[in-house]
Amino acid sequence: MKPKIYWRLNAHKTIGLGHLIRCLAAAKMLKNDFDNCFLIKTDNIENIKLIENNGFEYKRISLNLNLFNELNFIKSNFLTGKEIVVLDGYDFNTFYQKEIKKSTGKLVCIDDIQNGYFVADAIINHSGGIDASNYNCSAETKLFLGPEYLLLRNSFLNKASNQEKRSNSNNIFICFGGEDPENYSLKALKICEIFYPNRHCKLIIGSAYRHSTELNKFIRESELNIEVLENLDEFEVLATIKKCEVAICSASTIALEYLTVGGNLFLIQTAENQKYLFNYLIKSKLAWPISKIGGIKSSEKVDLYANQAKIFDGESPKRILKIFKSLQKEMNISFRLTAKKDVYQYYTWANEAETRKQSFNSKIISISDHVNWFRKKIDCNQTLMIVMQDKKDLLGQVRFDIGTNDATISLSLDKKARGHRLSKTLIMGSVKILKRKYPRIKKVTALVKKSNTPSRKTFSSLGFSEETKNGPKPISIYTYQLKTGTQN
């Protein structure tokens, strides 16, 4: 039986379809390994049909349920503590996240505005130009940021991994979402009238578009060659994009989809939540602001296309699957105190090549020296030794050397546990045990080789403060202040 993922999102005329489209894209990346079910609030039956047409289960949540009743409904009807819940929307504040997290195995937030405090186990934000400093979140939250984690429909990602050089065309692609409540479609056509009067405009709208009367009037009176395309599926959208060397779009998912093919893209920011993506695409020279239309040199286009080909590699489905498989693996993780029977496992870990490389003394350890050291440490009341394990294997170890009010941490991960971002799980899970057993401890210190970049990044991401020590063996000292109560 496949593990379960619940996708909680809203799709209605106020926020559009973007959240639903990217969640469907992510679910399709995961469908071979996970059972997906959508928990959706929507005022449009077409959104339900979209879920059905993609082959996924769904449950509608009443639009009339308030926050508390909705949480009770979800927890009592769906959550068992063994599933992953994904939240994608702007209504899921810290309180909502905490309540869901109490009842589920793992919590993921798909985000694009970096607003509020997050307690999720993972955050996915496929906008560029974002780093950990943009987020206020739990130290245990893992961040997956940037175009490496694009949540786009399969056809576009396949195109990104097999980019072809497109011949120039006289077609212009225009799309501002299915609803386009502010009618940017018409504004874009008026811009084309000035700068591209002889080109063919392919305008995509959806069934929720409410400005047809105004649009049709413009089409009748304009000399532009305009083709209106309505309710296209992803393959029809892709086929249209491939015919258009120029595009005018909002700084949203449709812009990213266009960029997987590549072209001369002009952006209009139509909503506040598009700010970061808009700025990233412009600063990275992947797209142009609409203000530059009509003023782009041929050499600038060449550079633009080269940048697009570098960023959009089509590999995000593999990365997204790895995230969710790692989260599923973490649900089976537990911690226990080290036992005397672990002596030879510790010996294997200690002499593993990467461990020796990152140790201050890189010489191989003899079995006799190791056994003597292990016996002293495990019997010492000033040492706390902890093992992380899943149902099958031992995954790593942490040792705390206990001082008066502080403790020094050292750790290692088993080879098979690497590459799944389990270092953070190992450290923070062990810190919780340290707090219970030694409540007097106020600070944890880690000594790391300056050349050990992965470990330095891990400690920094967990909120450890760095102090560099210079000398014949340069080390970085990281300290972490333990808080009282349930924090950390």
Q: Could you tell me the CATH number of the domain that includes residue 211? A: 3.40.50.2000
Residue 397 and residue 338: Cα distance in Å, rounded?
Answer: 8
pTM score, whole prediction: 0.82
pLDDT at site 467: 79
Same domain for 171 and 305, yes or no, is yes
pLDDT at site 426: 95
CB atoms within 10 A of CB 242: 17
Residue 127 token pair: 């906008």
DSSP state letters, 282-323:
HHTTSSEEGGGTT---HHHHHHHHHHHHHH--S-HHHHHHHH
CATH number for the domain that contains residue 87: 3.40.50
Domain for residue 128, yes or no?
A: yes
Residue 208 token pair: 């929720």
Domain for residue 486, yes or no?
A: no
Q: Please identify, among 91, 124, 150, the residue that sits at the C-terminal boundary of a domain.
A: 150
286-312: burial string, b at 16+ Cβ within 10 Å, e else: bbbebeebeeeeeeeeeebbebbeebb
Same domain for 220 and 364, yes or no, is no
Domain for residue 196, yes or no?
A: yes
Q: Please identify, among 128, 150, 172, the residue that sits at the C-terminal boundary of a domain.
A: 150
> What number of CA atoms fall less than 13 Å from residue 273's CA on the CB side?
18
Q: How many domains does the chain have?
A: 3
User: Which residues have a Cβ under 8 Å from the Cβ of 361 and sit 6 or more positions away?
Assistant: none
pLDDT at site 483: 73
Angle at 148 between CA 143 and CA 153, to 5 degrees: 110
pLDDT at site 15: 65
Q: Is 116 exposed, middle or buried (0-12, 13-18, 19+ CB in 10 A)?
A: middle
Judge contact between 209 and 180, C-beta under 8 A. Answer: yes
Domain for residue 487, yes or no?
A: no
Same domain for 394 and 407, yes or no, is yes
pLDDT at site 486: 46
Residue 237 and residue 57: Cα distance in Å, rounded?
Answer: 25
CB atoms within 10 A of CB 379: 9
Same domain for 18 and 134, yes or no, is yes
Same domain for 24 and 171, yes or no, is no
Task: Give me the residues of the chain with pLDDT under 50, please.
Answer: 486
Domain for residue 326, yes or no?
A: no
Same domain for 53 and 143, yes or no, is yes
Q: Is 55 exposed, middle or buried (0-12, 13-18, 19+ CB in 10 A)?
A: exposed
Same domain for 207 and 279, yes or no, is yes
Same domain for 13 and 128, yes or no, is yes
In DSSP terms, which residues pair with 478 in a beta bridge? 446, 466
User: Which residues have a Cβ under 8 Å from the Cβ of 74 and sit 6 or more positions away?
Assistant: 6, 8, 39, 61, 100
Q: Which of 270, 298, 271 is nearest to 185 (CA)?
A: 270
Give φ, ψ of 230 to 5 degrees: -120, 135
Q: Which domain holds residue 450?
A: 333-481
Domain for residue 316, yes or no?
A: no
CATH number for the domain that contains residue 421: 3.40.630.30
Residue 358 token pair: 């990152």
- Beta strands (DSSP E) in 393-470 are 394-402, 406-413, 443-449, 465-469
Same domain for 123 and 179, yes or no, is no
Same domain for 163 and 307, yes or no, is yes
Q: Is 143 helix (H, G, I), strand (E, B) or coil?
A: strand
Residue 170 and residue 201: Cα distance in Å, rounded?
Answer: 9
Domain for residue 56, yes or no?
A: yes
pLDDT at site 436: 94
pLDDT at site 224: 94
pLDDT at site 466: 87
Amino acid, res. 477 = I
Amino acid, res. 375 = R
Domain for residue 209, yes or no?
A: yes
Q: Please identify, among 135, 150, 165, the residue that sits at the C-terminal boundary of a domain.
A: 150
CB atoms within 10 A of CB 347: 18
pLDDT at site 476: 86
- Label the pairing between strands 246-250 and 171-175: parallel
pLDDT at site 179: 84
Same domain for 267 and 398, yes or no, is no
- Label the pairing between strands 84-88 and 106-110: parallel
Same domain for 277 and 205, yes or no, is yes
